């Protein structure tokens, strides 16, 4: 499970090719979709040379690669599709933040995808990279996952408009699916916060503070992941105004604007949730302080009740010869009765003043 914080990346040279992720034992699998509005052809797990034979640039091509630990195969992919070394290095280095790179004939995009871990407060993180060229989109995932299962089914069944659009629209719906995982993760965190707030109201267990700090770290991690994504989606707007990369159709820029708005919504919700978390923390400390005050009040009342009793016992504990009460037949019982009446009187007075 990946630790929920940005770890320091290894000091790699800019063009050094080394996979820095956790899924080192995953076998590389490749899947190619070639489709248009009328047909769809699907190929799996062939060599890159064989898969390239099926690519038809008159249609939309989606090459999805699962696994990043076979450097020789990835170099072969990079060679076939003229992917620069620095882009391949960014695909392999999973410690880098979300970024967008634009060149004349290629658009490179990498992003952190996340989902809540089962039976844990951790978050599962995976880096996914996209490279879009004329007629083809290549996606790189650290391992096989279910992020895009529904998109594959839409392509197979010709559902919606996906098969009428080009690779730029495919990039949009893939990014939309990943942002959907942010919503799932955020909703899961919000559910846990509600449980934590209820727990705070009924318990003074110090583990509450540990959980609050854990969820605060999770929110900060989500925030640090969404902010560069928001900035990258905003930068896509500039592509419309220049002549560097022209593979995004003008009608499709509005889709990326929607994604940018979703990022803003997520960031606003995170700020609100962090406020709720801060309130839970303040409530915990306030409850602890109130409980301590109640304890101190009880101890103070007990101490005040015993002050006059201690005084009476002290007086009659003196060793003077001339103390007439010492010779009274019922002196002991009288003093005990007086002490009892003092206690009853003080308790009645405190109750009347509502001191407890």
Distances (CA, A) of 251 to 101, 102, 161, 168, 335: 21, 19, 13, 11, 98
Give 140-156 pLDDT, tens digit per residue.
998 887 788 899 999 99
Number of H helices and E strands in the chain, helices first, is 8, 7
Q: Which residue has the higher pLDDT, 232 or 50?
A: 232
Going by their DSSP bridges, the two strands 136-141 and 60-66 should be labelled as parallel
pLDDT at 244: 59
How far apart (Å, rounded) are the C-alpha atoms in residues 225 and 110? 11
pLDDT at 86: 85
Residue 234: is its pLDDT beyond 90? no
pLDDT at 151: 92
Instruction: Decide if 154 contacts 81 (C-beta within 8 A).
Output: no
Calculate what percentage of the chain has a pLDDT beyond 90. Answer: 22
pLDDT at 262: 94
pLDDT at 4: 42
Nearest Cα residue to 179 out of 113, 119, 225: 113
Please name every residue paired with 124 in a beta bridge, in sequence order, or none if there are none.
115
Give 76-128 pLDDT, tens digit per residue.
888 888 888 888 888 888 888 888 887 778 888 889 888 888 878 888 888 89
Average of per-residue pLDDT across 310-331: 80
Q: Please, what is the average pLDDT of the chain?
A: 84
pLDDT at 260: 92
169 pLDDT band (50/70/90 cuts)?
A: very high
pLDDT at 263: 94
pLDDT at 246: 66
pLDDT at 7: 46
148 Cβ contact list (under 8 Å, min separation 6): 64, 139, 174, 177
Instruction: Decide if 68 contacts 95 (C-beta within 8 A).
Output: no
Q: What is the DSSP letter of 31?
A: E
pLDDT at 143: 83
Average of per-residue pLDDT across 294-319: 85
Give 176-212 pLDDT, tens digit per residue.
999 999 999 999 999 888 888 888 777 777 788 888 8
Calculate what percentage of the chain has a pLDDT beyond 70. Answer: 93
Distance of CA 158 to the CA centre of its chain: 34
241 pLDDT band (50/70/90 cuts)?
A: low
Which parts of the chain are beta strand (E)? 29-35, 40-44, 60-66, 99-102, 107-116, 123-133, 136-141
Residue 239: is its pLDDT beyond 90? no
Give 20-45 pLDDT, tens digit per residue.
877 777 778 888 999 999 999 998 87
Please name every residue paired with 112 in a beta bridge, in sequence order, or none if there are none.
127
Q: Where are the alpha helices (DSSP H) in 67-127?
A: 71-80, 85-92
Instruction: Decide if 279 contacts 195 (C-beta within 8 A).
Output: no
Distances (CA, A) of 295 to 301, 306, 354: 10, 17, 16
242 pLDDT band (50/70/90 cuts)?
A: low
Q: Which residue has the higher pLDDT, 47 or 306?
A: 306
**Range with the poorest average pLDDT among 149-153, 217-221, 271-275, 328-332:** 328-332
Instruction: Decide if 59 contacts 167 (C-beta within 8 A).
Output: no
Residue 15: is its pLDDT beyond 80? no
Nearest Cα residue to 22 out of 1, 53, 42, 51: 1
pLDDT at 3: 45
How far apart (Å, rounded) are the C-alpha atoms in residues 285 and 130? 47
């Amino acid at each position: 499970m990946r630790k929920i914080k940005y770890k320091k990346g290894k000091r790699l040279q800019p063009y050094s090719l080394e996979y820095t992720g956790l899924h080192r034992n995953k076998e590389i699998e490749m899947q190619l979709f070639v489709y248009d509005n009328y047909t769809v052809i699907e190929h799996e797990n062939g060599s890159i040379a064989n898969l390239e034979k099926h690519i038809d640039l008159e249609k939309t091509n989606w090459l999805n690669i699962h696994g990043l630990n076979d450097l020789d195969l990835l170099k072969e992919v990079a060679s076939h599709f003229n992917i620069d070394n620095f882009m391949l290095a960014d695909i392999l280095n999973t410690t880098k933040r979300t970024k967008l790179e634009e060149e004349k004939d290629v658009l490179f995009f990498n992003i952190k995808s996340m989902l809540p871990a089962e039976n844990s407060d951790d978050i599962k993180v995976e880096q996914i990279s996209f490279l879009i060229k004329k007629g083809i989109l290549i996606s790189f995932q650290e391992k096989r996952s279910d992020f895009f299962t529904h998109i594959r089914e839409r392509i197979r069944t010709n559902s919606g408009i996906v098969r009428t659009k080009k690779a730029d629209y495919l990039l949009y719906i893939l990014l939309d699916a990943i942002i959907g995982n942010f919503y799932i993760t955020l909703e899961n965190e919000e559910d846990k916060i509600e449980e934590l707030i209820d727990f705070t109201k009924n318990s003074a267990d110090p583990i509450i503070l540990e959980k609050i700090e854990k969820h605060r770290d999770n929110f900060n991690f989500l925030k640090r992941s969404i902010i560069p994504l928001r900035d990258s989606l905003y930068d896509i707007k500039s592509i419309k105004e220049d002549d560097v990369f022209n593979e995004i159709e003008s009608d499709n820029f509005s889709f990326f604007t929607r994604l940018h708005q979703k990022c803003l919504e997520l960031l606003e919700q995170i700020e609100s949730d962090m406020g709720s978390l801060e309130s839970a923390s303040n409530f915990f400390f306030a409850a602890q302080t109130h409980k301590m005050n109640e304890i101190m009040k009880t101890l103070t009342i007990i101490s005040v009740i015993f002050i006059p009793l201690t005084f009476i016992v002290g007086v009659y504990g003196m060793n003077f010869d001339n103390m007439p009460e010492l010779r009274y037949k019922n002196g002991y019982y009288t003093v005990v009765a007086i002490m009892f009446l003092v206690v009853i009187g003080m308790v009645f007075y405190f109750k009347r003043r509502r001191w407890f």
